[in-house]
A and B are shown apart, each in its own frame.
Chain A
Amino acid sequence: MEDQNHIALPKGSIEKATTTLNIGPTHPATHGVFQNIMEVDGERVVSTEQTVGYIHRAFEKLAERRPLYQITPITDRLNYCSSPINNMGWHITCERFLKIELPKRVDYLRVIIMELARISDHLICNSIVGVDTGAYTGFLYVMQYRELIYEIYEEVCGSRLTTNIGRIGGFERNFTNTAFTKLEKFLNEYPKVLREFENLFTRNRIFMERTQGSGGISAQRAMNYGFTGPNLRATGVDYDVRVQQPYSSYQDFDFKVPVGTTGDNYDRFLVRNAEMWESLSIIRQAYEKVQSFKGADAEVFHADVPEYYLPKKEDVYTKMEALIWHFKIIMGEIELPKGQIYSAVEGGNGELGFYLISDGGRTPFRLHFRRPCFIYYQAFEELIKGGMLSDAVVTMSSLNLIAGELDA
């Protein structure tokens, strides 16, 4: 007993009442490569420091030497849960900058793809919230419909996750009948699945108690922190780029902007679910509009912009002019006009902005991506301070943080 009083403890080991806990850089609870250095007192979070940048790839620097089309695959790798929105957001920026008008049918086809992407994005986020609260079933069950969405992408552009979909001025080819058949299948079957998914969670006692009242933020603080997208709408602010600055003919559609009140994890979940229903309704309307085109109009899938839209492959192989333009577009040998533009679309997790500055060269002088989750992730400490560690994990997933977008 005597010698216990003589154990030499490292300096500071008794005085420090809290524990330092590292979550990440790779941890199942972070769903991406980023780190949280937390100070915890028992299970209460005292403070946290977020470290980002583990998969930084210098996209903004890369973009300064790439012609427009070579930037599209870069945007895939921002929010890779909804790449088509990023691709089209970039193409819309280029079209606005180059003052290209699009035929209505192209706009509607784009809306279909973008809303499918929004559904797949929200679906992942919400089902991951389920996983983190201990309900794996929902996640696994809805995966088959994300798979169906990916099959539609595949039918339209040939790839699934990093889609590189579309061109400046429209799509690379018209939608095939298979694409429309798959879309119909999705429209018929998905509502039932989404209803079941909601039944699993929305009024589930355990889920409600885990998510209600945790990770909340007021509308004012959320705006000050630069929140956009479902996270902002969950606090009660009805800001949606699709409504405020319509692109791709969103003004032609009738849809609601769901909002929450408390901005907590539960409200974010509800807002995303409600948005999926709205997206479904938008897709239905868009599909009807697409079907209403008859004759030659029903074959339009791109604008007539030969300087930026690749010529047909048959022509490239047989005609000199087409071959030259193909080469010029691929190699980026077209000078851009001078000027600058900020253009935004409603991404899966918020306002995805592109700030393009051109000095008249072939590549952007500067391209900045306004990445929504990079901006709102700053608020993480405020959201979880004083709460339980397990709530912090749920908050992290309900914010819909995508490491690719955080780090650019």
Chain B
Amino acid sequence: MIESTMALTNEHIQQKLVEKFAEQVYGFSTESGILSFESSKELNLKVLQFLYDEPSLGFTFLTDLCGVNYPQQPGAELVVVYHLHNFSENIRIRYSVATSVAEPQIFTATKLFESANWMERETYDFFGVNFVGHPNLKRILNVDEMDYFPLRKEFPLEDQTRIDKDDEMFGRG
């Protein structure tokens, strides 16, 4: 009960996480006031559940979930980033898990947060992250027939200086 009267700090969050998960959570850093950390992808549900259930943490609001592609990190090319928010203490944290592009399976957070449903579909749609256990994992913004994941870095945008296109209607003629 002493903890609930004290303002929640980044140090406290980090301490609680390290107490619970020891060296399985790592990469702690604070940037622009937001604490961020990582864990292995197998742990993501346990960490999210702990952040949700632990009374002195209470991260019950999933603000955002999105994917990032780092092609230069072999074995950890795809990263899923969770932004969580504790409304009563008014503090945000950023939690990320990485997966390889060859085996992009990550457990779904939909059992914990209904809001994760579409955000995970979006991440699947654009990065091809396969959320294991998702109730309806199909494309959401792109067409169903699409056979690639467009926000991966391997798909560059069209070269603005290309000249091979005969397209008089659109000023390239």
**A interface list, Cβ under 8 A from B:** 52-53, 56, 58, 60-62, 64-65, 96-97, 221, 223-226, 237, 239, 244-245, 339-344, 351, 353, 355, 357, 365-366, 368, 370, 374-379, 407-408
Contact = CB atoms under 8 A, between A and B. Distances in A.
Given A60-B151, A408-B141, A366 B113 contact: no
Interface in B38-77: 60-64, 66, 68-69
B95 to A, nearest CB: 12
18 contacts: A52-B140, A53-B141, A56-B142, A60-B151, A61-B150, A96-B32, A221-B114, A223-B60, A224-B60, A226-B114, A226-B119, A343-B32, A353-B63, A353-B83, A366-B69, A368-B66, A370-B83, A377-B118
A226 B61 contact: yes
B152 to A, nearest CB: 10
Given A52-B140, A61-B150, A224-B115, 12 more contacts: A223-B60, A224-B113, A226-B114, A244-B90, A342-B63, A342-B83, A351-B63, A353-B64, A368-B64, A376-B115, A378-B114, A378-B118
Interface string B98-121: 000000000000000111011100
Contacts of B139: 53
Nearest to A237: B87
Contact of A226 (B81, B115, B151): B115
B interface majority secondary structure: mixed
B113 A226 contact: yes
Interface string B13-49: 0000000000000000001101000000000000000
B92 interface: yes
B115 A378 contact: yes
A376 B87 CA distance: 17
Contacts of A374: 118, 122
Given A61-B157, A370-B64, A378-B118, A341 B141 contact: no
Given A245-B90, A339-B31, A355-B83, A53 B60 contact: no
Contacts of B115: 224-226, 375-376, 378
A342 B94 contact: yes
B26 to A, nearest CB: 17
Contacts of A376: 115
B79 to A, nearest CB: 9
Contact of A58 (B69, B117, B143, B150): B150
Contact of B68 (A96, A366, A407, A408): A366
Contact of B81 (A60, A351, A355): A355
Nearest to B153: A64
Q: Which of A226, A343, A344 has the most CB of B within 10 A?
A: A226
Contact of B119 (A62, A96, A223, A375): A375
Nearest to A224: B114
Contacts of A52: 140-141
Contacts of A339: 31
B131 interface: no
Q: Which 9 A-B pairs have the closest CB atoms?
A: A226-B115, A53-B141, A56-B141, A368-B66, A370-B64, A225-B114, A224-B114, A341-B32, A378-B118
Q: Which of B34, B63, B94, B142 has the most CB of A within 10 A?
A: B63
B66 A341 contact: no
A221 B140 CA distance: 23
